[in-house]
Amino acid sequence: MTSQQLPPGLIGARTRRKEDPRLLTGRAQFVDDVVLPGMLEAAVLRSPHPHARISSIDISAALTVPGVFAVLTGHEVRDACATPQPVVWRMIPDQRMTDQYALAVDKVRYVGQPVAVVAATDRYVAEDALGHIEVEYEVLDPVVTLDDALAADAPLLYEDWPDNVSCRQTIPKGDAATAFAEADVVVTETLTYGRQMGAPLETRGAVMSWDPFTDHLECWMSTQSPNLTRDLLGEVLGLPVDHIRVRTPHVGGGFGNKFDFYAEEVLAALLSKRTGRPVKIIEDRLESFVANAHSREQRIEVSVAAKADGTITGMRGTVWAVLGGQLATVGIGPCWLSMALMAGPYDIPNVEATVVGVVTNRSPYGSYRGWGQPKANFAHERIIEKLAHELGLPANDVRRRNLIPADKFPYPSQVFYYDSGNYADCLDMAENAVAERGWRKRCDAASNEGRALGVGYSFHIEISALGPSKIMNQAGLQHSSFDEEVVRIDSAGGVTVRTGLSAMGQGIETALAQVAAHTLGVPLDSVTVLHGDTQTNPFTGYGTGASRGAALGGGALLRASTRLRDKVLRIAGHVLEASPDDLEIADGVISVKGAPGGPSITMRDIGDAAYRRLDGKLPDGEDPTLEERDVLDPDNVAFSYGTTAVLVEVDRETGRVDVLDYLLVHDCGTVINPMIVDGQLHGGATQGIGGALYEEIVYSPEGQPLTTTFMDYLIPTATEIPRFETLHMTTTADHIPGGFKGMGEAGTIGAASAITAAIEDALPDLTLHLARLPVSPPRLLDAIDVATASKENS
Amino acid sequence: MKPAPLDHVRATGLDHAIETLVAAGEDAKILAGGQSLVPLLAMRLAQPTTLVDLGGLRELDYIRDDGDTLEIGAMTRSRTVETSPVVAGAVPLLPAALRYVGHVTIRNRGTIGGSAAHADPAAEVPSVLRALDAELIASGPRGPRTIAARDFFDSFLLTTLEPDEILTAIRIPRQPSGSVVAVEEFARRHGDFALVAVLGAAHIDSSGRIAEVRISIAGAAPTPVRADAAERLLVGRTPTPELVRAAAAAASDATDPGSDIHAPADYRRTLATVLTRRCLTRLVADTERTEAA
Ligand SMILES: Cc1cc2nc3c(=O)[nH]c(=O)nc-3n(C[C@H](O)[C@H](O)[C@H](O)COP(=O)(O)OP(=O)(O)OC[C@H]3O[C@@H](n4cnc5c(N)ncnc54)[C@H](O)[C@@H]3O)c2cc1C
C-alpha cells in the first residue's frame, strides 16, 4: 500500500507558487490582453424568449451601422459548419441528441441562446448594431421546471421526440429488490439541488484569426482543454487539426465551465473567416449567467434498506437531471456520474440507480467543479443522516458501520473500481480533531446563552486521475484521457517542462516544477514550465479537469524525469569515471554518494556535454541532447476521499446560518505541495458553502432568468467563509507513478452535506430533514416553522 | 455591457450643471459617484443622451455644522460623512447606518446626494433621512427649494425631484445630546443591500423613560418606512420587554414589503418584527441595566 512513498524532498514541500508573482502583480496575460492588428470585436444577439420559433431575422439595418463588418445568422452558421456542436460524453447509447449549432437555426430553447452575431470595430459598436437586428418570434409555451417538462401534456422542445426525456439508464449491482424486501428498515428522501454555476472572475473569451489564404486558424482562448478544443474546432469547422493552433494564456479561473466547448469560439472563427480579420469575443458578466454552462440542478429520489443495527443492505435512487434547452459538451455526463457514484464510500452490496435526462427551457447543463459528485454526496449523506435519525443512532456510527473497510480495496462499486483508502481512519481522525478543538463545548456554552450552534459531518469520495482512455471510450467518451509530458535539460543545465495542461490559477506550474526538480535533483528555480500552445506543447487528453492534472501530468513527468535523470547520471559517470549507481544528484550537483567534497560535476556541465562540447564527455552510444517524454494512460482512475466537519450557528428567528469553523481531513495519496492542496480545498469548500447556503440560478415561472448579476447570484465572499483547517492522510495510488491522486474538486463535494447536518444538529428539538439547496434564510425559517408546528401538534 | 452612445458634460459650476440639464431635456441624467448609475448604463437599462457629471463641483462637497442642524453637500462622499467627527457628534445615526452601505471602496466613490436621489427603498441613507426628519435642498431653473424627507421619497427609485432639478444638500436636525442609536440590518452577505434594516435612535431621560424615539425601516416597502405608531407606543414609557415586543409588532404592521428572489413578503415582515425588537432592545439596554441596579 505504501510502495509509492517517495523520499522527502521537493515533492511534499510547501513551496511558494512560481506563478504568483506574475498573477499578483498584474503581469499575467489573459485572453482579453491579446490585441492583434485589424482586430474586430463581436457581440451576440441572444434570445429573449425561453421557447419560440424564429419566424424571420432582418439584419439589413444592422449591416448599415458604421463600423459593422459582418452579421451572421443561424442558417449561415449551419451551412458553414461540418457538424453540429459536439457532445463528447455519450455514455447512454440510445440517448436522443439535440444536434444544435452555434446559432439557433429555426427555434430557440432558452433565454440567452445565441441568435445572431455581429463583428464590428469595437464592442460598443457591435452592441449598438445588435439593437438594429429585427427578429420575429412565434412564442411557444415554455417548459420551465422539471415538472413542467414531465407533465403529460407538456410542450415538446424537440418535436420529433415523443416527450422531453433525452435519456434514461439504470445501472444495477446485486439484487436491490431482495434487499428492500428483507430490510428491517427502509428510509426514503427526495432531494432538490439548486441550479448553480462556476463563476470565474475572468469570463470566457476567444480571439480567432483565420488566414483566408492558407485556411489556418490561430486561436487564443481561455480554456481548460486546449487539445480537445483544437480537435472539436477541426470537426465543427471541417479543418485539419494541423491548420489549427490553440493558444491558452493564463486562465482566470476555470471551475469546469471552461472545459466545455461553446458557440462563441465557433462564431468568432466564422466571423474571422468572413471578414478576413482577427475577431475577439469576450463574454460579459451579464451574458455569463445565461451563456456559461449551468450545473448542479437535480431532483434525487434516494432510499436505503438497512438492518436494525444500521448496516445498509440496499440502495435505490433516481437522478432527475434538469438539463437545459440543448445538450452541452458533456451531455448527460455529470448527472450520469451522480447516478454512478450514489453509493459513495459505503459498502452497499445491492444498488440500483437510475439517471433520467430531461430537457427544459433553461441554459444548457455542463461542467462545474465536482461534476455530479456534490449531488451524489448529498444523496448518500442525507440518507445516512435520516437512517441514523430513524434508528436513534449517531450518524457517524452508521457511517462507520458501512464505510468500505481498508482490506476490501480495490473495491468494485456499481461502475468503478475504487483503488485504495483508509476511510474509517479518516472519519476517526476528524472526530478526534473536532473533540480536541472543543466544538461540542462551544455548542453547549452557546446553548446556555440561548444561541443555536451545531456540528455536522460528511464523508466524500472523489474520482480523480481520469482516466484509462480505452475504458473511458467504452463508457462513451469521444476523446482520450491520457497525459503527455516533455522534459528537457538545456545546454546550461536549465530544465524546461512542456505540458498540455492549462494554468488556471490552480498552481500547475509549481506542482509540475516540483515533480521535475525533485526527480532530477535540481533547484526549483531552475525549472520552467511552459503551457498554453497546442503547436509546441504535448497532447493532454480530456483537458485540465476531472482532477487529473497533477496526478496524470505529475505521474507522466515523474517517469520522464526519472529516465532523464538516468541519462544525466550516465554522462556524469562517464566524466567522473564512476558507476552511475554510485552517484547522487542534489541541488543540481552530481557527486559520489557518501563522499562529500569529492569529485563532482554540475547540471550545467552535463548540459554542455550533451549539447556543445561533447567530445570526451558524452559517452559513446548516447545521443546528444537531454530530453524525455512520457505518456501516462493509467490502468484505473484514483479515488481521493475526505471527511468534512463544520460548526455552524443558526439564528432561529431569521433562519440565517453562519459557518463558524470548518475542518477537512483529506487523503489524495502523495501530496506534491500541501499549500496548493490546502488552497484547492479551501476554494472548493467556499464554492461548496455557496452551493449550500447562497448560490442559486432562479428562473421566473415564465422562464426568464432572474439571477443575472452578482447582486442576485450570491457568491460567498471573504466575510461569509470561515477559517478552514485541513489535516492530511496519505494512502497512495499504487497504479500511478508517484502515488498521486487528484483533488481539485474535493472541497465542493461534501460541503452541503456537512452544513445541512450541522444546521439540523443546531436545532436538536426539531426534526428538520433539510432536503433542498441552497438553504436560504427564508427556506430555513419555513422549515423551522413547519417542524415547530408538527412538534406542537404531536 | 457597454453603454449606448452619450454626451458626457463635466459641469464647471452648479449653474452650468442646471443649464446643461435644461438644455438636454428629459433624456439627460445626473452623474454623481456613479456606483448605481454606471451599472445601469452598462446594462443599457438607462440610455440617457447626456450625462451631467457633478464630479467637479467642490461647492457641493462640504459638511457644515449650523448648530441646530447639520448640512451636508450632495457631492460629499459617503465615506467622508461616515468618518467625520462633526457628523458623529451631531447625527450619530448617520455614520452608524453608512457602515452598512456596500463596501468601503463603494463608499469612497458613492455620494450622500446620490444615495438620497437614487431612492432605493433598501438603502440606508433614505431611511436615516426619514428617521431624523431631514430636509433635502434642490436647485433648478426655478431656483432652490426645500423638501421634507417624508415628501421626497415617492416610490421605488422615484423621488419628487423634477427632472431638471439637482439635489444640492441635505439638512439634518441635530440629535439631542445623550441620544443612543442602533442599526439592525439583515443582508445576505456583508455589503449587500439590506433585505430589511431597522434604524433606531432614542433619547432616554434621567427617570428611565423614553423621551424621544425614532424608528425607520428600509427594504420593507416601496419607500423607507417611518414606524410612527411604534414610536407613539414607546414615547413617555419606561421600556419593558412586553412594550418592546408590542412596538416591534406595530412597526412591522407599518411595512408593505414586496417579494423577490431573495425573500417573500412574509419573510420581510417577520424580519421587520425581529429586527425592530433587537434594535429597540439595544437602544434601551442601558436603561434596563440602570433600572436593575
Ligand atoms: C456593490 C455595491 C453595493 C452597494 N450596496 C449598497 C448598500 O448596501 N446600501 C446602499 O444604500 N447603497 C448601496 N450601493 C449603492 C451606493 O451606495 C451608491 O453609491 C448610491 O446609491 C448612489 O450614489 P452615487 O453617488 O454613486 O450616485 P450615482 O450612481 O452617480 O447616481 C444614482 C442616481 O441618482 C441620481 N443623482 C445622483 N446625484 C444626484 C443629485 N445630486 N441630484 C439629483 N440626482 C442625482 C443619478 O442621476 C442616478 O439616477 C451599492 C453599490 C454597489 C456598486
The DSSP annotation for A569-618 comes to HHHHHHHHTS-GGGEEEETTEEEETT-TTS-EEEHHHHHHHHHT--TTTS
Q: Which of A370, A198, A378 is nearest to A299 (CA)?
A: A378
Give the residue from chain A lying closest to B265, CA to CA: A778
Task: For residues A664-682, give the mean pLDDT.
Answer: 97
Q: Give the Cα separation of B215 and B283 in Å (integer).
A: 11
- Strand B153-155 and strand B158-159: the pairing is antiparallel
How many C-beta atoms surround the C-beta of residue A494 within 10 A?
17
Identify how many contiguous H helices and E strands chain A contains and give both numbers: 22, 28
Q: Which atom of ligand 1 is nearest to the CA of B60?
A: 41
A158: left (phi over 0), alpha (psi -120 to 50) or beta: beta
pLDDT in tens, A212-264: 999 999 999 999 999 999 999 999 999 999 999 999 999 999 999 999 999 99
Distance B66 CA to ligand 1 centre (A): 26
pLDDT for A541: 94
Q: What angle (nearest 5°) sits at the alpha carbon of residue A72, between those of residues A70 and A75? A: 150
| Helix segments in A449-599, DSSP class H | 469-474, 508-520, 554-576
What is the distance between the alpha carbons of residues A493 and A610, in angstroms, rounded to a whole number? Answer: 10
B81 touches ligand 1 (CB under 6 Å): no
Whole-number pLDDT of residue B86: 98
The grid coordinates of residue A342 equal 450514489
A285 → chain B, closest CA residue:
B1
> Does the CB of B261 have a partner CB in chain A at under 8 Å?
yes
Beta-carbon contacts of residue A470 (< 8 Å; ≥ 6 apart): none
Say which CATH class A403-465+636-794 falls into: alpha beta
Question: What's the rounded Cα separation, in Å, for the pair A209 and A123?
Answer: 17
- What is the separation of C-alpha B281 from the centre of its chain, rounded to a whole number of angstroms? 22
User: How big is the CA angle at A362 (ends A159 and A135), to the nearest 5 degrees?
Assistant: 70
What predicted TM-score, i.e. pTM, was given to this entire model? 0.97
Does ligand 1 have an atom closer than 6 angstroms to the CB of B136?
Answer: no
| Cross-chain CB nearest to B261 (options A128, A712, A716) | A712
User: Mean pLDDT score of chain A, rounded to an integer?
Assistant: 97
What local confidence, expressed as pLDDT, does residue B286 receive? 64
Q: In angstroms, what is the C-alpha Rg of chain A?
A: 28
pLDDT digit string (tens) for A728-784?
A: 999 999 999 999 999 999 999 999 999 999 999 999 999 999 999 999 999 999 999
Alpha-carbon gap: A710 to the closest alpha carbon of chain B (Å) = 10
Q: Is the pLDDT of residue A4 over 60?
A: no
Are A8 and A247 spatial neighbours (Cβ–Cβ below 8 Å)? Answer: no
Q: Which of B35, B100, B261, B266 to mutate to test the interface with A (most CBs of A within 10 A)?
A: B261
Percent of chain A with pLDDT over 70: 99
Topology, domain A20-27+482-632 = Aldehyde Oxidoreductase; domain 4 (3.30.365)
Cβ-Cβ contacts under 8 Å for B202 (sequence gap 6 or more): B179, B180, B181, B210, B212, B213, B214, B234, B280, B283, B284
- Burial (CB < 10 A; 0-12, 13-18, 19+), residue A121, is middle
Residue A566 has pLDDT above 50, yes or no: yes
A67 Cβ contact list (under 8 Å, min separation 6): A120, A121, A122, A125, A129
d(CA A225, CA A540): 8
Q: What is the pLDDT of residue B26?
A: 86
A752 closest CA partner among A411, A460, A367:
A460
Q: How far is CA B195 from CA A194, A246, B184, in A?
A: 21, 46, 11
Q: In chain A, what is the straight-line distance between the N-terminal and C-terminal CA atoms, in Å?
A: 53
pLDDT at A1 over 90: no
- Quick check: B270 contacting A, CB < 8 Å? yes
Alpha-carbon gap: A283 to the closest alpha carbon of chain B (Å)? 9
A777-793 and B265-292 helices, crossing angle to 10°: 80
Beta bridge partners of A688: none
The shortest CB-CB distance from B189 to any of A285, A714, A778 is to A714
Q: Copy the grid coordinates of residue A631.
A: 505518456
- What cell does A786 get? 413547519
Cell digits of residue B265: 413578503
Q: Cell numbers of A655, please?
A: 433562519
CA distance linking residue A355 with residue A372, whole number of Å: 11
> Beta-strand (E) ranges in A283-382?
298-306, 312-323, 350-359
Tell me the residue type at A256.
G
Return the residue in A32, A654, A694 with the most chain B beta carbons within 10 A, the one to mutate for interface testing.
A654
Domains located in chain B, CATH noted:
7-53 (3.30.43.10), 58-173 (3.30.465.10), 180-292 (3.30.390.50)
User: Could you give the CA distance from residue B44 to residue B42 in angstroms, rounded to a whole number?
Assistant: 5
Q: Which of B1, B186, B190 sits opposite A717 (nearest CB)?
A: B190
Ligand 1 pocket: which of B106, B120, B129, B159 to mutate (most atoms within 8 A of CB):
B106
Cis peptide before A774 (omega within 30 of 0): yes
The answer, yes or no, to whether any atom of ligand 1 lies below 6 A from the CB of B271, is: no
Q: Is B193 within 8 Å of chain A by CB?
A: yes
Within 13 A of A732's CA, how many CA atoms are on the CB side? Answer: 15
The answer to whether A593 and A583 are in contact (CB under 8 A) is yes
A174: left (phi over 0), alpha (psi -120 to 50) or beta: left
Comparing A283-287, A592-596, A603-607, which segment has the lowest mean pLDDT? A592-596
**CA A347 from centroid of its chain's CA atoms:** 26
What is the C-alpha separation between A383 and B101, in angstroms, rounded? Answer: 42
Instruction: For residues B247 and B198, give the distance between their C-alpha atoms in angstroms, rounded to a whole number.
Output: 13
* The pLDDT of residue A5: 61
pLDDT on residue A3? 46
State the Rg of chain B over Cα: 20
**In chain A, which residues fall in CATH 3.30.365.10?**
20-27+482-632, 403-465+636-794
Taking 80 as the threshold, does the pLDDT of residue A666 lie above it? yes
Query: Which of A9, A20, A21, A19 lies closest to A672, judged by CA?
Result: A9
Residues A288-324 pLDDT 10s: 999 999 999 999 999 999 999 999 999 999 999 999 9
The residue whose CB lies within 8 Å of the most ligand 1 atoms, and thus the one to mutate among B10, B115, B167, is B115
pLDDT tens sequence for chain B (293 residues): 999 999 999 999 999 999 999 999 889 999 999 999 999 999 999 999 999 999 999 999 999 999 999 999 999 999 999 999 999 999 999 999 999 999 999 999 999 999 999 999 999 999 999 999 999 999 999 999 999 999 999 999 999 999 999 999 999 999 999 999 999 999 999 999 999 999 999 999 999 999 999 999 999 999 999 999 999 999 999 999 999 999 999 999 999 999 999 999 999 999 999 999 999 999 998 654 443 33
B35, B111, B183, B262: residue to mutate for ligand 1 pocket, most atoms within 8 A of CB = B35
Q: Contact, A758 vs A646, CB < 8 A? A: yes
- The Å distance, Cα B91 to ligand 1 centre, comes to 21
Query: Which ranges in A612-750 belong to alpha helices (H)?
Result: 674-689, 746-749
A124 Cβ contact partners less than 8 Å away, ≥ 6 residues apart: B2, B3, B5
- Helix (H) or strand (E) holding B126, with range, is helix B124-131
Predicted confidence (pLDDT) per residue in A507-555, tens digit = 999 999 999 999 999 999 999 999 999 999 999 999 999 999 999 999 9
Question: Does ligand 1 come within 6 angstroms of the Cβ of B11?
Answer: no
The answer to whether residue B23 neighbours chain A at the CB level (below 8 Å) is: no
Check the CA dihedral B85-B86-B90-B93 and report its sign. Answer: negative
Mean pLDDT calculated for residue range A179-195: 98
Beta strands in A624-769 (DSSP E): 626-632, 638-651, 656-667, 724-729
Q: Which pLDDT belongs to residue A2?
A: 42
Q: What letters, b where the CB count within 10 A reaches 16 and e where it falls short, cover A44-58?
A: bbbbebbbbebeebe
Which cell is A91 given?
Answer: 455514455
Residue B70 CA to ligand 1 centre (angstroms): 21
Strands (E), A194-243: 205-211, 216-221
Question: What are the DSSP E strand ranges found in A343-399?
Answer: 350-359
Contact by Cβ (8 Å): A757, A381? yes
